[in-house]
Amino acid sequence: MKLALLVDILIGGLITGGIYALVALGLNLQYGLMRVLNVAHGEFLMMGAYLTYTLHAAWGMNPLATLLVTAPVAFGAGVALHRVLYARVLASGEAQESLPSRSLLLSFGLLFVLQNAALIVWSADLRGYRYLSIPVHMLGTVFPANRLVAAGVALLLSVGFYVFLRRSLTGKAIRALMQEPDGARLVGIDVTRLHGVCFGAGIAMSAVAGSLISMLFELTPFIGLPFTVTALVVVILGGLGNVAGSLAGGLLLGLVETAAVYAAASDVRVIASYAVLALILILRPSGLLSR
């Protein structure tokens, strides 16, 4: 019985953590590359979730197949937003110190726009559908199949992206740009184009995570912000700009949270995530796992 509980927490934690990792990776990619702290990140998750919901509910599309729509649409939107908003701020040649604050304000503006656009289109009512809610027995405990599928896809994408960063030429360019922006420019990396691509990729990851989440929970236009906060915690936990750190941090936070919910009540979860965020900011502003 004790083993079953342990397995329960472990797998439950990995399921939550896998999704956290995917959301946090996207956020960290944007921050690591451009020093853009995108607080509208969770709103793209919310938009992805609603896109999947609409495609499934209105046209009967398979929720998993909608990822093939969500990802490119979100990527395109991200590239466009980068060009219209962030590229202009980044190129404005202002003092380096003011860039983070300006891009932060931009993303708060985006948050308002996206959340209220969603409220106008879908209203504040709960929306949801049932997909793959079949119980799967494994290792003495039971999990719904949709959670396993969602977590599997999220983990696959996160690890896949990590491998892409380590192995491919583009991945190397991205890492070079994170570590040494001026040096990267010198060796002929097209910085603005790569920024756009990475911003789009980050948003696509968030939206895909949203599509996966729509299979598990009911949606409201307000689901985005809590995920932004969680992603911030993970990113700060793992170190800003540290991709492997986000991956590990996401899984760790998923485990800790699941264990905490078992140990205490679930309404403490929100308090805990803000408290952890505040604590980390005070104690280790450069990240727990940073060198």
Residue with tokens 């308090």: 271
Nearer to other proteins, 23 or 154 (CB): 23
Nearer to other proteins, 104 or 244 (CB): 104
Is residue 113 a contact point for other proteins (CB under 8 A)? Answer: yes
Smallest distance from the beta carbon of 280 to other proteins, in angstroms? 10
Which residue of 28, 30, 66, 115 would you call a contact of other proteins, by CB under 8 A?
115
Residue with tokens 């397995």: 7
Nearer to other proteins, 67 or 240 (CB): 240
Torsion of CA 279, 177, 41, 62, to 10 degrees: -130
Looking at this protein, which amino acid is placed at residue 54? Answer: T
Near other proteins in 225-254, by CB under 8 A: 229, 232
Which residue of 116, 133, 168, 266 would you call a contact of other proteins, by CB under 8 A?
116
Nearer to other proteins, 67 or 110 (CB): 110
CB of 155 closer than 8 Å to CB of 21: yes
Bridge partners of 138, per DSSP, are: 141
Residue of 111, 106, 109 whose CA lies nearest to 86: 106
Helices and strands, counts by H and E, the chain: 12, 2
Nearer to other proteins, 66 or 228 (CB): 228
Which residue of 7, 61, 89, 145 would you call a contact of other proteins, by CB under 8 A?
89
CB of 46 closer than 8 Å to CB of 214: no
State how far Cα 240 lies from the chain centre.
Answer: 14
Residues that bind other proteins (CB under 8 A): 37, 39, 85, 88-89, 92, 94-95, 97-98, 100-102, 104-106, 108-113, 115-117, 119-120, 229, 232, 267-268, 270-271, 274-275, 277-278, 281-282, 285
